[in-house]
């Protein structure tokens, strides 16, 4: 067994002191790989940049030479069969749902950040011991051994686990379908315990009913409720970590709804992603990019289902759900990346710029665009007597539960077998592998469900007339079909704007120092506001909401 020991002798320095005991049973090179990324974010994090003072010794305390094989892989020659000791410091100074943070009030560790994998020992167990006497309350998603240690059966399990101990850790719990669900809150609580527990139990009950079972006996919601603005969630098999701030804003129903949305989203991941996973991500290789075209399944379907289950479980009424859907539609309708890159390539290229805005209209967003594709698939299947919910239940039974993974073709066959009179292959070719506008299709698809997509002029005059979106007086985006596209630049600052005699005159300060006065004719209607309205209650709507 490989054994980790964690200490923090000076929490205000935000450094963890870590020791790894490495028993070696045969001589030769031993490689120590620190993950370069984590599950749930397909982008390099380069955790090795947080390491300092790394050293290796044998069991007599004699220094052993370490060498670097790559930016995050160390190696040494084990000339004798014995236990070696790796000691290093890790800077735990980033607060989000997937990182590490140490201070005078808490120790918070996502082990994938700071734990080395001993290569070529795939099924070797790891133990964790945290030496800290300051706080009595803690949560760890690993099982606990006698003597205060936590145990992971493999590095994959260790990398999927979280530890938190803090000065004031609130613990609530509820039960659903013989599984125990724990809610751990670090931070200020500005909402009703009763309301949160009931809402969580309702969406949990509905999710388990539709999937048929929950994969674990225990599951942990770990909340970091912060005094500053923050919003993030990361999925794990046995729990999720969610950061939200400012915490006091959770007294606002809209902000509380956001917390509910990310919580349901992350719990859906307990099936989809954590277990229903493409073959190329099973198991994860944290030393390099793990490319996949399935981002629209991993995050698009989960984004759609996360909000839908708040509707199905009664937390959202229909109007509230449609407001959330409108936000997704705005994200898609105000970006033209679908014209330039399909969803498959956008998934594959997450490793380039999937978690940043990137250059204008280069790619699709696997969360937002993928959500609307999932919505369309669900509506199509419902009209054929099936649903995306049925597809995901079978995906759980065929791929997730036996832990075998899927490829795109086998996953799509689950949809294709339910297509009835719908041509699912043409849909795939146009909207997943192609560059067709999913919004135009949705405008027609939702009509039998008693809903309608309407468009009204944008209330921002310059956005409506010239197709420019401003942020703090500077141009953030320009519609590619507007006349402004050939006269203005992203980053231009609008110093003055006047509308007179059907003419719009702008004074603009450019990043290169130039100043310009430009005139445009009125008459544009860019970036309209999209609304989704209920027209009537239909049988299909009832099936969709059930």
> Cα-Cα-Cα-Cα dihedral of 477, 478, 480, 481, to 10°?
140
- Contact by Cβ (8 Å): 262, 231: yes
Q: How far apart are CA 444 and CA 454, in angstroms?
A: 12
Looking at the DSSP assignment, which residues form a beta bridge with residue 19?
A: 5, 87
Q: What kind of fold does domain 2-167 have according to CATH?
A: Immunoglobulin-like (2.60.40)
- Contact by Cβ (8 Å): 313, 322: no
Residuewise pLDDT in 10s, the chain (546 residues)? 999 999 999 999 999 999 999 999 999 999 999 999 999 999 999 999 999 999 999 999 999 999 999 999 999 999 999 999 999 999 999 999 999 999 999 999 999 999 999 998 888 999 999 999 899 999 999 998 766 799 999 999 999 999 999 999 999 999 999 999 999 999 999 999 999 999 999 999 999 999 999 999 999 999 999 999 999 999 999 999 999 999 999 999 999 999 999 999 999 999 999 999 999 999 999 999 999 999 999 999 999 999 999 999 999 999 999 999 999 999 999 999 999 999 999 999 999 999 998 999 999 999 999 999 999 999 999 999 999 999 999 999 999 999 999 999 999 999 999 999 999 999 999 999 999 999 999 999 999 999 999 999 999 999 999 999 999 999 999 999 999 999 999 999 999 999 988 899 999 999 999 999 999 998 899 999 999 999 999 999 999 999
Query: Given CA atoms 211, 213, 216, 220 in this order, what sign does their dihedral have?
Result: positive
Single pTM value for the model: 0.96
Q: 281: which 2 tokens?
A: 């991500």
438-445 and 368-383 helices cross at what angle (nearest 10)?
Answer: 30
DSSP track, 493-524: EEEEEEEETTEEEEEEE-TTS-EEEEEEES--
CATH architecture for residues 169-270: Orthogonal Bundle (1.10)
Q: 403: which 2 tokens?
A: 């832990």
- Contact by Cβ (8 Å): 310, 316: yes
* 3-state SS record for 1-60: CEEEEEECCCHHHCEEEEEEEEECCCCEEEEEECCCCECCECCCCCHHHHEEEEEEECCC
Q: Examine domains 169-270 and 284-452+537-546 and report if their fold is the same.
A: yes
What CATH number does the domain located at 284-452+537-546 have? 1.10.390.10
Q: How far apart are CA 233 and CA 236, in angstroms?
A: 10
Domain boundaries along the sequence of the chain: 2-167, 169-270, 284-452+537-546, 461-527
- Contact by Cβ (8 Å): 77, 69: no
3-class secondary-structure state, position 401: coil
> Parallel, antiparallel, or unpaired for β 218-225 and 239-245?
parallel
Tokens 């290789």 belong to which residue? 285
């Amino acid at each position: 067994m490989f054994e980790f020991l964690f200490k923090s002798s000076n929490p205000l320095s935000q450094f963890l002191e870590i020791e790894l005991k490495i028993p070696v049973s045969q001589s030769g090179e031993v490689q120590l790989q620190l993950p370069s990324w984590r599950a749930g974010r397909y982008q390099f994090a380069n955790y090795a940049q947080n390491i300092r003072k790394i050293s290796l010794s044998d069991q007599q305390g004699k220094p052993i030479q370490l060498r670097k094989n790559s930016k995050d892989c160390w190696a040494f020659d084990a000339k004798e069969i014995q236990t070696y000791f790796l000691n290093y410091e890790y800077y735990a100074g980033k607060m989000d749902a997937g990182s590490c943070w140490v201070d005078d009030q808490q120790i918070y560790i996502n082990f994938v950040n700071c734990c080395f994998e001993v290569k070529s020992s795939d099924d070797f167990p790891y133990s964790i011991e945290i030496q800290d006497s300051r706080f009595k309350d803690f949560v760890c998603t690993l099982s606990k051994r006698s003597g205060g240690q936590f145990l992971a059966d493999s590095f994959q399990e260790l990398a999927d686990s979280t530890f938190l101990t803090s000065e004031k850790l609130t613990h609530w719990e509820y039960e659903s379908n013989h599984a125990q669900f724990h809610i751990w809150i670090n931070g200020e609580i500005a909402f009703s315990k009763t309301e949160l527990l009931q809402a969580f139990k309702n969406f949990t009950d509905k999710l388990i009913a539709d999937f048929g079972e929950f994969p674990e006996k225990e599951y942990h919601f770990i909340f970091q409720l912060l005094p500053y603005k923050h919003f993030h969630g990361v999925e794990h098999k046995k729990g999720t970590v969610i950061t939200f701030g400012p915490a006091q804003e959770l007294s606002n129903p809209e902000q509380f709804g956001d917390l509910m949305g990310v919580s349901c989203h992350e719990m859906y991941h307990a099936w989809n992603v954590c277990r229903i996973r493409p073959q190329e991500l099973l198991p994860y290789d944290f030393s390099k990019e793990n490319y996949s075209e399935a981002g629209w399944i991993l995050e698009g379907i989960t984004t759609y289902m996360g909000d839908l289950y708040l509707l199905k479980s009664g937390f959202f009424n229909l109007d509230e759900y449609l407001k959330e859907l409108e936000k997704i539609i705005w994200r898609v309708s105000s970006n033209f990346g679908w014209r330039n890159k399909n969803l498959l390539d956008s998934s594959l290229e997450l490793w380039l710029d999937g978690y940043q805005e990137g250059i204008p209209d280069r790619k699709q967003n696997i969360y937002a665009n993928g959500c609307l594709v999932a919505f369309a698939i669900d509506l199509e299947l419902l009209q054929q007597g099936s649903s995306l919910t049925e597809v995901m239940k079978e995906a759980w039974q065929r791929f997730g539960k036996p832990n075998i993974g899927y490829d795109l073709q086998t996953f799509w066959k689950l949809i294709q077998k339910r297509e009835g009179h719908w041509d699912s292959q043409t849909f795939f070719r146009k909207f997943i592998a192609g560059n067709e506008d999913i919004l135009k299709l949705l405008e027609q698809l939702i009509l039998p469900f008693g809903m309608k997509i309407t468009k009204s002029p944008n209330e921002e005059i310059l956005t409506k007339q010239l197709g420019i979106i401003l942020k703090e007086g500077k141009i953030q985006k320009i519609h590619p079909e507007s006349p402004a596209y050939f006269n203005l630049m992203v980053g231009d600052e609008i110093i003055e704007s006047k509308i007179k005699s059907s003419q719009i005159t702008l004074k603009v300060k450019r990043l290169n120092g130039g100043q310009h006065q430009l005139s445009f004719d009125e008459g544009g209607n860019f970036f309209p506001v999209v609304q989704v309205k209920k027209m009537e209650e239909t049988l299909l709507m009832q099936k969709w909401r059930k």
